[in-house]
Structure 1
Amino acid sequence: MTLRTNRIIQVLALLVLALGAFGTLRAQTDAPALVLKGQLTGKDNQTYRTEAFTVPDGTTRITVQFEYTGRDEKTTIDLGLLGPDGFRGQDGFRGWSGGSKALFTISSTDATPGYLPGMIRAGEWKLLLGIPNIRPDSKAEYTARVWFGHRDDPAWTPAVLNPPIKNEAGWYRGDLHMHTAHSDGSCPTQAGLRAPCPLFLTAQAAADRGLDFIAITDHNTVAHANAMRELQPYFDKLLLIPGREVTTFSGHANLFGTTAPVDFRVGSTEVPDWNTLLRNIAPLQGVISINHPVRPSGEICMGCGWTPKPDVDMSLVQAIEVVNGDDPGTPLSGIPFWEKQLNRGYRITAIGGSDNHDAFQKVRKPGSNPTGIPATVVHAETLSMHDIVEGIRAGHVFIDTDGTKDRVLEFTARTDSAQALMGDALAVPRGVTAELSLRATHAEGGCWLLIVDGKPLAAPAPLTQDDETHNVRWTSDGKRHWIRAEVRSADGRPLLIGNPVYVNP
Structure 2
Amino acid sequence: MIQNTIKLELMDDTSERVIHNTFTFDVSENIQSIGLQLYHRESIWGTYLVYDPTGQLRAQYVTGKTPQPIVIHEQMEGTSPYTTAGSISVGTWTIEVIATVANKENIEKPFIEVQFDTERTDRSTNELYWNEMAGNPERIVQNEARWYKGDFHTHTIYSDGQMTREENMASAKNQQLDFFVATDHNIVPTSWVNDTSVLVLPGIEVTAPLGHFNILNTNCSPFEDCHLGDMLTEQGMNNIIAGQYGNALISINHPFLTEWKWLFNDTPLNKVDTLEVWNDPTYGYNPQATEWALIAWDMLLKDGHRITGIGGSDSHLKPEERYEGSEEASLIGDPGTFVYCEGLSVTNLITAVKQGHVVVSRGEKISCQLEQFIAGDQCDRSTGEIKVSIDTNEAIEIEWVVDGEVVSKIMDNHASYLFNWSDDAYHYIRVNVRRADGTLYGFTNPIYFNDKNPSLHTWGQLLELMKEHVHD
Q: Give the TM-score normalised by structure 1.
A: 0.59
Contact 1:271 1:277 in 2 (8 A): no
- Code of the residue aligned with 1:422 in structure 2: it is A
Change over 3 Å in CA distance of 1:441–1:456 after alignment to 2: same
Counterpart Cα distance in 1 of 2:150 and 2:368: 20
Match for residue 385 of structure 2? 435
> Of 185, 193, 199, which aligns to 1:239?
199
* Residue-pair matches, total: 334
Counterpart Cα distance in 2 of 1:184 and 1:269: 21
Counterpart Cα distance in 2 of 1:355 and 1:91: 31
Counterpart Cα distance in 2 of 1:479 and 1:288: 29
> Of 240, 264, 270, which aligns to 1:308?
264
Match for residue 485 of structure 1? 431
Change over 3 Å in CA distance of 1:309–1:448 after alignment to 2: closer
Show CA shifts across 1:222-264 (max 9, x none).
Answer: 1x331x1xx24x3x32111111111112210111111202036
Percent identical pairs in the alignment equals 28
Change over 3 Å in CA distance of 1:412–1:266 after alignment to 2: farther
Match for residue 463 of structure 1? 412
Change over 3 Å in CA distance of 1:408–1:274 after alignment to 2: same
Change over 3 Å in CA distance of 1:336–1:395 after alignment to 2: same
Counterpart Cα distance in 1 of 2:74 and 2:397: 63
Match for residue 36 of structure 1? none
Structure 2 matches for 1:34-45, cutoff 5 A?
none
Q: What are the ranges of 5 or more consecutive residues in structure 1 without an aligned counterpart?
A: 1-56, 61-89, 97-105, 111-115, 122-154, 187-196, 298-303
Counterpart Cα distance in 1 of 2:384 and 2:332: 39
- Code of the residue aligned with 2:174 in structure 1: it is D
Structure 2 matches for 1:285-300, cutoff 5 A?
285-297=247-259
- Alignment partner of 1:277: what SS? helix
Counterpart Cα distance in 2 of 1:339 and 1:492: 19
Contact 1:179 1:217 in 2 (8 A): yes
Q: Give the TM-score normalised by structure 2.
A: 0.63
Counterpart Cα distance in 1 of 2:235 and 2:55: 27
Match for residue 420 of structure 2? 474
Contact 1:356 1:369 in 2 (8 A): yes
Counterpart Cα distance in 2 of 1:156 and 1:213: 10
Q: Name the larger-Rg structure.
A: 1
RMSD: 3.5
Contact 2:181 2:201 in 1 (8 A): yes
Structure 2 matches for 1:204-243, cutoff 5 A?
204-222=170-188, 224-226=189-191, 228=192, 231-232=193-194, 234=195, 236-243=196-203
Counterpart Cα distance in 1 of 2:181 and 2:321: 18
Change over 3 Å in CA distance of 1:95–1:183 after alignment to 2: closer
Contact 1:249 1:266 in 2 (8 A): no
> Of 255, 267, 278, which aligns to 1:323?
278
Structure 2 matches for 1:187-198, cutoff 5 A?
197-198=163-164
- Code of the residue aligned with 1:379 in structure 2: it is Y
- Code of the residue aligned with 1:410 in structure 2: it is S
Show CA shifts across 1:60-109 (max 9, x none).
Answer: 9xxxxxxxxxxxxxxxxxxxxxxxxxxxxx9976679xxxxxxxxx9x96
Counterpart Cα distance in 1 of 2:56 and 2:322: 45
Offset at 1:443?
5.4
- Code of the residue aligned with 1:389 in structure 2: it is I
- Code of the residue aligned with 2:318 in structure 1: it is A
- Code of the residue aligned with 1:425 in structure 2: it is Q
- Code of the residue aligned with 1:382 in structure 2: it is G
Contact 1:291 1:321 in 2 (8 A): yes
- Alignment partner of 1:395: what SS? coil
> Of 260, 269, 278, which aligns to 2:241?
278
Counterpart Cα distance in 2 of 1:119 and 1:156: 27
- Code of the residue aligned with 2:354 in structure 1: it is R
- Alignment partner of 2:441: what SS? strand
Change over 3 Å in CA distance of 1:277–1:307 after alignment to 2: same
Is 1:453 aligned to 2:418, yes or no?
Answer: no
Is 1:425 aligned to 2:381, yes or no?
Answer: no
Change over 3 Å in CA distance of 1:474–1:168 after alignment to 2: same
Change over 3 Å in CA distance of 1:439–1:372 after alignment to 2: same
Show CA shifts across 1:90-148 (max 9, x none).
Answer: 9976679xxxxxxxxx9x967xxxxx734799xxxxxxxxxxxxxxxxxxxxxxxxxxx
> Of 304, 326, 329, which aligns to 1:345?
304
- Code of the residue aligned with 1:455 in structure 2: it is E
Contact 1:109 1:118 in 2 (8 A): no
Contact 1:484 1:498 in 2 (8 A): yes
Show CA shifts across 1:267-322 (max 9, x none).
Answer: 569982433222114x522011100001222xxxxxx1110032x21111000011
Change over 3 Å in CA distance of 1:332–1:457 after alignment to 2: closer
Counterpart Cα distance in 1 of 2:229 and 2:424: 41
> Of 365, 372, 379, which aligns to 2:333?
372
Offset at 1:170?
0.9
Counterpart Cα distance in 2 of 1:391 and 1:241: 15
Offset at 1:347?
0.3
- Alignment partner of 1:477: what SS? coil
Contact 2:403 2:429 in 1 (8 A): yes
Counterpart Cα distance in 2 of 1:172 and 1:206: 13
Counterpart Cα distance in 1 of 2:335 and 2:236: 31
Change over 3 Å in CA distance of 1:409–1:476 after alignment to 2: farther
Change over 3 Å in CA distance of 1:269–1:441 after alignment to 2: closer
Counterpart Cα distance in 2 of 1:422 and 1:237: 27
Offset at 1:164?
3.1
Q: What are the ranges of 5 or more consecutive residues in structure 2 without an aligned counterpart?
A: 1-53, 58-71, 90-131, 452-472
Offset at 1:424?
1.7
Match for residue 248 of structure 1? 208
- Code of the residue aligned with 1:434 in structure 2: it is G
Change over 3 Å in CA distance of 1:443–1:176 after alignment to 2: farther
- Alignment partner of 2:150: what SS? strand
Contact 1:425 1:504 in 2 (8 A): yes
Contact 2:337 2:359 in 1 (8 A): yes
- Code of the residue aligned with 2:340 in structure 1: it is H
Is 1:201 aligned to 2:177, yes or no?
Answer: no
Match for residue 368 of structure 2? 411
Contact 2:154 2:314 in 1 (8 A): yes
Change over 3 Å in CA distance of 1:461–1:243 after alignment to 2: same
Counterpart Cα distance in 2 of 1:273 and 1:170: 40
Contact 2:257 2:289 in 1 (8 A): no
Change over 3 Å in CA distance of 1:331–1:287 after alignment to 2: closer
Contact 1:436 1:474 in 2 (8 A): no
Counterpart Cα distance in 1 of 2:221 and 2:172: 27
- Code of the residue aligned with 2:403 in structure 1: it is D
